Structure 1
Amino acid sequence: MSGANRLAGRVALITGGGTGIGAAAARRLVEDGARVVLTGRRADPLREVAEPLGDAALALSADAADSSAMRAVVAETVDRFGRLDVVVANAGGHGLGAALDTDDKSWQDSLDANLTSAFVTIRESLPALLVRGGSVVLVSSLAGLFSGPGVCGYVTTKHALIGLTRSIARDYGRKGVRANVVCPGWVRTAMGDVQMDEFGAARGISRAEAYALVTENTPLGRPAEPEEIASVIAFLASQDSSIMSGAVLTADAGASAVDLPTIELGRTL
């Protein structure tokens, strides 16, 4: 349920705002009273999300890992809306391959997509955030806490986002800026659908069956919807979480509560 107007008067910048979690976060933050600026490398998806939100949303295409581009985005945000209060560092991408299968370009691509994009966005936003104080919400992954197979770059960079969160929290908390990180598990997004289609093809099962299979050992037994992750982001963006900074919140259907060696035992009880 939305916290009616709990973000009234606030302005949020969301990277990776054209699809999935970023798009859902934009809709939720506007529902809670905020105005939002959506960024991403592809203009069309950004416009598709922003247009139904009317004057409360602005779409600006930019690469979140590009310092000059993000500096310009922040400047236009402040010029248009007069302030910046919330940054949702959501942009990300793959980092496929085990270490021996990861060449220099793949490694750099993963760093840029998942880590540099967050760092640059936050660094360029901090001068505006420090004017009134604000909240930074980073979107990591369950892969930021544990390791999956054959995704060395993704796991490494998603872990690093937790360190970045804690560094921002430590250095800027006394100056009014909070930073927290969300670690989702499987979420029904376009990227998740691609992964499930590939997994399903290998197993000879449908997308829905693939989602069910990868979540069957989680306590809730299902993937998240983007709107559910957006609700966590909205909470961290608002004053409802005013005492929280440097926190790591899992939004993973309970996956991180499971003791893997007891899964088979649990099936017999």
Structure 2
Amino acid sequence: MRLKGKVALITGAGTGIGAATARRFAAEGASVMLTGRRPGPLADVAADLGDAGAVACADMSDTVQAREAVEACLRRFGALDVVVANAGGHGGGPVGETDDASWRLSLDANLNTCFVTCRETLPALVRSKGAIVVVSSIAGLAAGPAVSGYVTTKHALIGLTRSIARDYGPQGVRANCLCPGWVRTPMADEEMDVLVERDGINRDEAYELVTKDVPLRRPATADEIAAICLFLASPDSAVMTGSVVVADGGATAVDLPTLAFD
């Protein structure tokens, strides 16, 4: 019960990492405000949480909607101690093939959502001396092919986290950034399906293909990433702020030019 009596707000809480984190936080004693743009998945997660869960359906990149979600959280639970800025989306295409609309979509989905969420929750977090967990990606550390919007915004999330850590640490707020590698989620499943169609393989084989050079030779589960979110949100990480925590099965430890010798 590491979050007993605490209140958390989680963005992108309807599926994947967000949903798994909501369930884990509730199991550890927290009350959880679930936010996202799709009411159906949010309602399904809330049903699992019972009285510990509430829903604020909102586009958290929009200041008005984000502010209303935070106010709903404070009305329902009376405080806010933890924010998990998890919402994100795709950002495909190399720079030369990315039009203005696609670029803005990447910014909203991955960067602006996090920025607005953090800005609107900081007053409450200052009062509670709370914690922020920003979910970025190993795409925030290295570039994949033809995903310039995603790579750029995930890199930017690390800078945003460090800025919050520096500016609000003196007021007791901690902010840390989590960079997962491949995780079995609905969004990753969609990416695997590209390989399924291209190579005539099944989804499990696609996951095996994208992790064949990862030391642990497998993707993470959403529950495994949720456990790390719990650590970063809990008193167990009380001295950590401004940190970048990588959870990628060892992917970024691999020296790519040596793969030919493996």
Match of 2:18 in 1: 22
Q: How high is the sequence identity, in percent, across the aligned residues?
A: 61
Q: Give 1:202 deviation, angstroms.
A: 0.7
Which 5+ residue runs of structure 2 have no aligned equivalent? Answer: none
Q: Is it true that 1:117 corresponds to 2:125 in the alignment?
A: no
| Correspondence for 1:144 among 140, 150, 158 | 140
Amino acid aligned to 1:136:
I
| Correspondence for 1:63 among 43, 59, 62 | 59
Q: Give 1:146 deviation, angstroms.
A: 0.2
Amino acid aligned to 2:165:
A
Q: Is it true that 1:189 corresponds to 2:185 in the alignment?
A: yes
Which whole-Å deviations, capped at 9, do the CAs of 1:44-80 have from their partners, x for residues lacking one? 1000001111000001100010101111111111111
Distance in 1 between the 2:64 and 2:42 partners? Answer: 20
Please state whether the residue corresponding to 1:149 is helix, strand or coil: coil
Please state whether the residue corresponding to 1:263 is helix, strand or coil: helix
Distance in 2 between the 1:167 and 1:86 partners? Answer: 18
Which whole-Å deviations, capped at 9, do the CAs of 1:227-247 have from their partners, x for residues lacking one? 000000000000000000000
Distance in 2 between the 1:258 and 1:46 partners? Answer: 37
Amino acid aligned to 2:243:
A
Distance in 1 between the 2:202 and 2:48 partners? Answer: 32
Please state whether the residue corresponding to 2:34 is helix, strand or coil: strand
Q: Is it true that 1:219 corresponds to 2:212 in the alignment?
A: no
Amino acid aligned to 1:163:
G
Which whole-Å deviations, capped at 9, do the CAs of 1:192-211 have from their partners, x for residues lacking one? 00100111211121111110
Q: Is the 8 A contact 2:140 2:155 kept in 1?
A: yes
Please state whether the residue corresponding to 1:182 is helix, strand or coil: strand
Distance in 2 between the 1:76 and 1:204 partners? Answer: 47
Q: Is it true that 1:46 corresponds to 2:42 in the alignment?
A: yes
- RMSD, aligned CA: 0.6
Distance in 1 between the 2:182 and 2:48 partners? Answer: 27
Distance in 2 between the 1:52 and 1:251 partners? Answer: 26
Q: Is it true that 1:95 corresponds to 2:87 in the alignment?
A: no
Match of 2:258 in 1: 262
TM-score for the superposition, normalised by structure 1: 0.97
What is the total number of aligned residue pairs between the two structures? 262
Following TM superposition, where does structure 1 have runs of at least 4 consecutive aligned residues deviating by more than 3 angstroms?
Answer: none
Please state whether the residue corresponding to 1:170 is helix, strand or coil: helix
| Correspondence for 1:243 among 217, 239, 246 | 239
Distance in 1 between the 2:47 and 2:172 partners? Answer: 32
| Correspondence for 1:10 among 6, 19, 22 | 6
Distance in 2 between the 1:86 and 1:132 partners? Answer: 9
Q: Is it true that 1:233 corresponds to 2:248 in the alignment?
A: no
Which whole-Å deviations, capped at 9, do the CAs of 1:142-171 have from their partners, x for residues lacking one? 100000000000000000000000000000
Q: Give 1:264 deviation, angstroms.
A: 2.0
Q: Is it true that 1:168 corresponds to 2:168 in the alignment?
A: no
Distance in 1 between the 2:173 and 2:216 partners? Answer: 34
Which whole-Å deviations, capped at 9, do the CAs of 1:88-128 have from their partners, x for residues lacking one? 00000000000011000000000000000000000000011
| Correspondence for 2:200 among 174, 180, 204 | 204
Distance in 2 between the 1:203 and 1:177 partners? Answer: 47
Please state whether the residue corresponding to 1:97 is helix, strand or coil: coil
Q: Is the 8 A contact 2:23 2:48 kept in 1?
A: no
Amino acid aligned to 2:112:
T
Distance in 1 between the 2:209 and 2:94 partners? Answer: 23
